[in-house]
Amino acid sequence: MISIEAIYALAIGALVAGGVYLLLRARTFPIILGLSLISYAVNLYLVSMGRLAVGRAAFTLPGTEGHVDPVPQALVLTAIVIGFAMTAFSITLAVKSFVVFGNDHIDGREDA
Amino acid sequence: MNNHAFILPVLIPLIAAMLCVLLPTGNRAGRRVVGGLALLGTTAVAVGLVLLADTGAIGIYRFGNWPIPYGIIFLVDRLSALMVLLCSTVGLIAFAHASVGPDRRSDHFPTLFLTLVAGVNGAFLTGDAFNLFVFFEILLLSAYILVVHGRAAARAQAGMQYVFLNLVGSALFLVAVGMLYGLTGTLNMAHMAVRVTELPPGDAALLRVGAVLMMVVFAIKSALFPVWSWLPRAYAASSAPVAAVFAIMTKVGVYAIIRYSGLIFGAGRGPVEDLVKPWLLPLALITTVVAIIAAVAARRLNVLASWLLIASVGTILVGPGLFQDDGLAAGLYYMLHSTLAMAALFLVADLIERQRGPELGDSLVPGPAMPQQRLVGVLFMVTMVAVAGLPPLSGFLGKALLLSAASQHPAAPAIFVILLGASFASLVVISRAGSVLFWKTTDSPAPASASITWKALPVSLLLLCILGLTLGAGPVSEYLDRTAAQVRDPSILIDAVLGERP
């Protein structure tokens, strides 16, 4: 039986691998997708830093036993919001560069 | 009781930025006044913070009065107060340069500029690892927009590479922060410094990985070899006041390296003790050498200035790379000088560009004599003396302090050769640029350009600051000696942060 940690780690690894592959395409749209994949991987990774646990409360309530660490969840929330803003900005930038150069290459030159 | 003055260097620019958004479209004068007043106020507060910090007290601001280590804190010690003062001063002068005289900048320039200053100040003041990430993102987002701000196509291209590279850097930063949190269970920097000593030996390897990732991120931010490739294009493509305040942005990385290698990865910190020690000095020296070589090949004044900026970052990091109190103090002194000097060089390059007209711009080819040749020439020459580190200005003193601190170091021969060689090479490079720009004039008529007499005022102010740094070298370096002693002793911050209970 494979453990939850192993599945989790494999999922993060797959996301990062896909993200890096897309980053190396040197086209704006794949790069933005790649950056999004990497930021998903990082967010999953941050959640796991509070240790993975099954069947625990998200926060303590009277009568519940034990709870998961709330700090990583707060961090991830912040990271998601920032990542969202960054993605929006990169898309705007990519559109602007497409308008300026007429192609979607990161160097602005089709032959490069 | 919280001293609310500690958060003013972030709060004032942020509130002013919001006011700038609220002003009606086209009201540029109003935005200039609001921005100028805000930056003036920030600088005044920063002076107060430096005076307060020099009493030796560690100022702590607890947001929401949460007990440490649960709440986020701001830390004001000698180092962070000094960095805030440096940032506010350069920001104020660069903003003045942008605001004086005719300008076609858009309405939103002041807003972005102010959020950038707020982000940089926040990064200097925060005492929390994740909060550092947040302020990095604030300053980066403003910087991204400022780089691509304007019409030039080169900006969109340089901006794209800058943005994507730094987004990857931010992802690395998050991984590093997450790893350190997962191991130590805290984000408070002082608390983290305590917890790393208490870890079980089995976690040591993972901790070292997290720490190295963290330092790599800071190296990217300070444009250290070999992760610097984003800087020259982005800085050379951005407008002068932006590039001038970017001169301080690399110092955020420098500050973070100094802070983390002094506190969390410093002496007596168990498995991460002296983690950066074998790396910092060689990387700093390589950075200086390669950047100077690249500067020789530059064909435009702004590119030249960007490479010299990287070279100066290398020279600064030689100071902390020595891992001695006097070395760190010397590095800090050189940092004060070189930040002001590099900002001045970017602003002077802008004056030259304006005088030569849009066709020649800042490219290093002979052109007609500039209409205000004498004024620009004098400014360029003084800036050149400052940047190359010649006497009588403070760059010379900074390098002399660095060399005297390094004289007992095992790597002293290499340091002497590289620092002196870099000084000489940058002198050659800048004087070559100067002779092309000012002496090899063609007889063709000069292009009509607006008078830059008023624009020259902020640059002169920067050069006056350098002069002040030279004349006040005694008190300043005494302050920096105290700063270095404070930074390199982790127990001072740890006791101040964790010893205090609300």
pLDDT band at B105 (very low <50, low <70, confident <90, very high): low
Whether residue B25 has pLDDT greater than 90 = no
Q: How many helices (H) and strands (E) does chain A have?
A: 3, 0
Span B9-18, average pLDDT:
93
- Judge contact between B328 and B415, C-beta under 8 A: no
Q: Name the residue ranges covered by the structural domains of chain A.
A: 4-101
A5 contact B CB<8A: no
Q: Residues 183-202, chain B: which have Cβ within 8 Å of A?
A: 185, 187
Structurally, chain B folds into a number of domains equal to: 1
A42 contact B CB<8A: yes
In which residue are the tokens 């507060």 written? Answer: B45
pTM of the model: 0.91
Sign of CA dihedral B177, B183, B185, B188: negative
CB contact under 8 A, B157 and A31: no
Nearest-Cα distance to chain A for B238, in Å, is 15
Span B167-190, average pLDDT:
89
Residues of chain A with Cβ-Cβ distance to B175 below 8 Å are 42, 45
B203 contact A CB<8A: no
- Judge contact between A42 and B178, C-beta under 8 A: yes
In which residue are the tokens 């602005």 written? Answer: A108
Write the pLDDT tens digit of every residue in A27-46.
888 999 999 999 999 999 99
Fold of A4-101: Helix Hairpins (1.10.287)
Mean pLDDT, chain B, integer? 85
Q: Which domain does B245 fall in, by range?
A: 4-498
**Residue B257: CB partners within 8 Å, gap ≥ 6?**
B215, B218, B219, B222, B276, B280, B317, B320
Span B114-126, average pLDDT:
93
Residues of chain B with Cβ-Cβ distance to A96 below 8 Å are 148, 156
In which residue are the tokens 């309530």 written? Answer: A61
The residue of chain A nearest to residue B155, with distances taken between CA atoms, is A97
The pLDDT assigned to A94 comes to 86
Most confident of A99-108, B234-243, B389-398: B389-398
Residues of chain A with Cβ-Cβ distance to B178 below 8 Å are 42, 45-46, 49, 72, 75
Whether residue B21 has pLDDT greater than 50 = yes
The residue of chain B nearest to residue A31, with distances taken between CA atoms, is B164
CB contact under 8 A, B171 and A96: no
Percent of chain B with pLDDT strictly greater than 90: 19
Percent of chain B with pLDDT strictly greater than 70: 96
Whether residue B15 has pLDDT greater than 90 = yes
CB contact under 8 A, A89 and B164: no
The pLDDT assigned to A99 comes to 83
The pLDDT assigned to B387 comes to 87
Q: Residues 367-396, chain B: which have Cβ within 8 Å of A?
A: none
Nearest to B164 by CA among B140, B133, B132, B130: B140
Write the pLDDT tens digit of every residue in B328-362.
999 999 999 999 999 999 888 888 888 877 777 77
Nearest to B466 by CA among B384, B366, B393, B378: B393
pLDDT band at B151 (very low <50, low <70, confident <90, very high): low
Nearest-Cα distance to chain B for A102, in Å, is 11
Write the pLDDT tens digit of every residue in B267-313.
777 777 777 788 888 888 999 999 898 888 888 888 888 888 888 99
CB contact under 8 A, B168 and A35: yes
The pLDDT assigned to A19 comes to 94
A101 contact B CB<8A: yes
The pLDDT assigned to B502 comes to 41
pLDDT band at B375 (very low <50, low <70, confident <90, very high): confident
Residues of chain A with Cβ-Cβ distance to B157 below 8 Å are 97, 101, 107-108
Span B103-114, average pLDDT:
79
Residues of chain B with Cβ-Cβ distance to A40 below 8 Å are none
Write the pLDDT tens digit of every residue in A3-20.
888 999 999 999 999 999
ipTM beyond 0.95? no
Write the pLDDT tens digit of every residue in A34-86.
999 999 999 999 988 877 777 777 666 676 667 777 888 888 999 999 989 99
CB contact under 8 A, A78 and B134: yes
Write the pLDDT tens digit of every residue in B37-75.
999 999 999 999 999 888 888 888 888 888 877 888 898
Of A35, A39, A45, the CB nearest to B164: A35
B169 contact A CB<8A: no
A9 contact B CB<8A: no
pLDDT band at B250 (very low <50, low <70, confident <90, very high): confident
The Cα–Cα gap between B364 and B298 comes to: 9
Whether residue A110 has pLDDT greater than 70 = no
**Residue A24: CB partners within 8 Å, gap ≥ 6?**
none
The pLDDT assigned to A81 comes to 92
B119 contact A CB<8A: no
